[in-house]
Structure 1
Amino acid sequence: MSTPAPLRIGVLGCADIAVRRMLPAMAALPETEVAAVASRDPEKAAAAAAPYGAAAVLGYEALLRRDDVDAVYVPLPAALHAEWTGAALRAGKHVLAEKPLTTDPESTAALLDLAEAAGLALMENVMFVHHRLHADVRALVADGVIGELRSMHASFGIPRLPESDIRHDPELGGGALGDVGVYPLRAAQHLLGDDLDVLGAHLVRGAGSRVETAGGALLATPAGVTAHIAFGMDHGYRSAYELWGSAGRLTVERAYTPPAGHRPVVRLETRTGVEERVLDADDQVRNTVAAFAAHVASARAGEPVAHDREAPLRQARLLDAVRRRAAPVRPVPEAARPRAEAAAGPARTPSGP
């Protein structure tokens, strides 16, 4: 039996996440190959494409017209996802798009419907859910290690970004909720289930900022398990969640963006003491690309897909519910800014995806 030809992927843009993490993963997997990289800047396209022997393409439209591209990866700013994901689907390409898939539930639903009608794969790139750590955590909770689950605390924060960063631009879909808040919110869905009610929410716009720079939310399941969510992009780095049960607590650090060689540590605190379980390393970037290739293979064969096509829509609705519940966004007074900056110290950019 012959080995299937690899999935030929074209990349729209030269975003950092594409160059640093996704392109190497696509090139390393036997199921995929980097076929082309497009940019509006020919030098950027050439530099990104060269290590993989891929075509450097001037302009996104030109890449979508290529017959040697089966699928497209979209790492553009969030506000451009709907336009270019839709264009790729209409051009007959399967699509892997960065999170969030779009900036509103209606656009997300329209893209999912478009992909389904065309028999094409459409997947949102939320990588941490493909790391085996979280399946292991769910198994521990199901086994009753911490008793009956009572609540979850989840947080993700990164140091302040340069003012020129696209995440500070509202016209490009910037803001803490969609960029960093999506991680702990999606973790709550992943670990507690999708039927979450938003009991309260709060979004804060830092002094001088045009977008929200921090926020929090209180969620609850129908059974009364609560999820306390905190996030921001003017913070000391934190990437963690804690599950608190009737008989103990389970804590995970470096929960959302671990490097491939990192061995996760699950800390268990129960009546019998404290235990740290060191798990095997896993590569969530590689796993995500492999999941996308499998999703495309299923779509090509007309088979049911293992991938949950509705997950992006449920996530979009949760983000929208948090934003609506928090409106209006509260500004931080100018007088508070110098104290906050002095306390934070020099900014560092995290190394994760």
Structure 2
Amino acid sequence: MTPHPAPLRVGVLGCADIALRRMLPAFAASPAAALVAVASRDPAKAAATAARHGCRPVHGYEALLDDDTIDAVYVPLPAALHARWVEAALTAGKHVLAEKPLTTHAPTTARLLALARSRRRVLMENVMFVHHRRHTTVRTLVAEGAIGELRAFRAAFCVPRRPATDIRLRPELGGGALWDTGVYPLRAALHHLGTGLRTTGAVLTRPDEHAVDTAGAALLHTPDGVPVHLDFGLDHVYLNAYEIVGSHGRIHVDRAFTPPPDHTPAIRLDTPDGTRTVPVPPDDQVANSVAAFVAAVRDDIPPDPVVLEQATLLDAIRTATTTP
């Protein structure tokens, strides 16, 4: 009998909300990973978080990176801090799973991806929704011609107003709607339309009371001229969906980016013959993301080039922006 490989020993840099709510429980529950330690600059916060998840507290990020009992690190820090700590982790010989966006500057993203390749370390951006099975079902429907030839792609991820103290409103931490919610519809477009997207124009809204953009939209197109419309924001009614329009049909996916694991998603397919619902079983995209990261480490999978494509497009959207 072939022995099971040892679990991937994981440490966490920081106690961000997404780590506490989603990723730490997923690492702790995974049979393929072992949650070893969580680090914080606040010893009390590290101790409380570690006690809740059955791992060891570490005071300071450097101390965790110096720990030889840790194989990989998860980085849920604010976006502007990713580059520094991802580079430090790779240099320390750790595999890295980092929250999106990997960095806020495409050349920096390119440099980190090159560093990961040169050190034979896995560097993965934690875009969880792409690991949910329903998006594979959508791809299959499109490939089988369910909606005919592609005519348009639309996606939106918008959330209600943030408190004034929210870190997503702090420019020094990489705040702003584009970096926070804009990544989701952009990645959905790349996931379903492939590479080669080009930016036509964009609008970012920055109210006087904020130092970052709180709303935005971008218009892109595929090499074949299919238009791509993306909306994102931090001061909206809640929107979380994408739509693929074809020559004789339309696919609509609601709750596209953040479904809970017990949610039974449905794909709406509209054609001239009527509307039907394509059911998809519940799926845990957070657990799937952990499993994909562990598999990448075990199989020595190089970084996904879509990460750099996404970073380049985010830069292009900023460059093309008109600010009201």
The unaligned stretches of length 5 or more in structure 2 are none
- Could you tell me which residue of structure 2 aligns to residue 342 of structure 1? none
* Superposed CA offset, 1:314-350 (max 9, x none): 11001011110005x33xxxxxxxxxxxxxxxxxxxx
- Could you tell me which residue of structure 2 aligns to residue 182 of structure 1? 183
- Could you tell me which residue of structure 2 aligns to residue 350 of structure 1? none
- Could you tell me which residue of structure 2 aligns to residue 41 of structure 1? 42
> Separation in 2 of the partners of 1:2 and 1:130?
27
* Matched position secondary structure for 1:201: strand
Letter in 1 for 2:190: Q
> Separation in 2 of the partners of 1:308 and 1:14?
25
* Matched position secondary structure for 1:189: helix
> In structure 2, which of residues 307, 310, 323 is the aligned counterpart of residue 312 of structure 1?
307
In terms of mean alpha carbon deviation, does 174-183 or 52-61 score higher? Answer: 52-61
**Contact 2:117-2:303 within 8 A present in 1 as well:** no
* Matched position secondary structure for 1:128: helix
C-alpha displacement of 1:207? 3.5
**Contact 2:190-2:306 within 8 A present in 1 as well:** no
Moved over 3 A (4+): none
- Could you tell me which residue of structure 2 aligns to residue 340 of structure 1? none
* Superposed CA offset, 1:211-236 (max 9, x none): 00011011111111111111111001
* Matched position secondary structure for 1:138: helix
- Could you tell me which residue of structure 2 aligns to residue 127 of structure 1? 128
Letter in 2 for 1:313: L
Please give the residue correspondences for 1:17-28 in structure 2 after superposition, counting only pairs within 5 Å: 17-28=18-29
C-alpha displacement of 1:308? 5.1
- Could you tell me which residue of structure 1 aligns to residue 12 of structure 2? 11
* Matched position secondary structure for 1:113: helix
- Could you tell me which residue of structure 2 aligns to residue 276 of structure 1? 277
* Superposed CA offset, 1:17-46 (max 9, x none): 001100111111111011000001111111
* Matched position secondary structure for 1:156: strand
Identity of matched residues, %? 59
TM-score, normalised via structure 2 length = 0.98
* Superposed CA offset, 1:226-277 (max 9, x none): 1111111100111001111111111010000101111111111111111112
**Contact 2:122-2:303 within 8 A present in 1 as well:** no
Letter in 2 for 1:13: G
> Separation in 2 of the partners of 1:108 and 1:75?
16
* Matched position secondary structure for 2:142: helix
Letter in 2 for 1:194: T
Letter in 2 for 1:326: T
- Could you tell me which residue of structure 2 aligns to residue 75 of structure 1? 76
- Could you tell me which residue of structure 2 aligns to residue 326 of structure 1? 321
TM-score, normalised via structure 1 length = 0.90
- Could you tell me which residue of structure 2 aligns to residue 59 of structure 1? 60
Name the Cα RMSD after superposition. Answer: 1.0
- Could you tell me which residue of structure 1 aligns to residue 162 of structure 2? 161
* Superposed CA offset, 1:275-311 (max 9, x none): 1122111111001010000111122xxxxx2x65212
Please give the residue correspondences for 1:227-246 in structure 2 after superposition, counting only pairs within 5 Å: 227-246=228-247
> Separation in 2 of the partners of 1:276 and 1:190?
22
**Contact 2:11-2:64 within 8 A present in 1 as well:** yes
* Matched position secondary structure for 1:318: helix
- Could you tell me which residue of structure 1 aligns to residue 173 of structure 2? 172
> Separation in 2 of the partners of 1:180 and 1:194?
20
Letter in 1 for 2:309: R
> Separation in 1 of the partners of 2:164 and 2:33?
36
> Separation in 1 of the partners of 2:281 and 2:177?
31
Letter in 2 for 1:316: A
How many matched pairs?
323
Pair 142,79 (structure 1): closer, same or farther in 2 beyond 3 Å: same
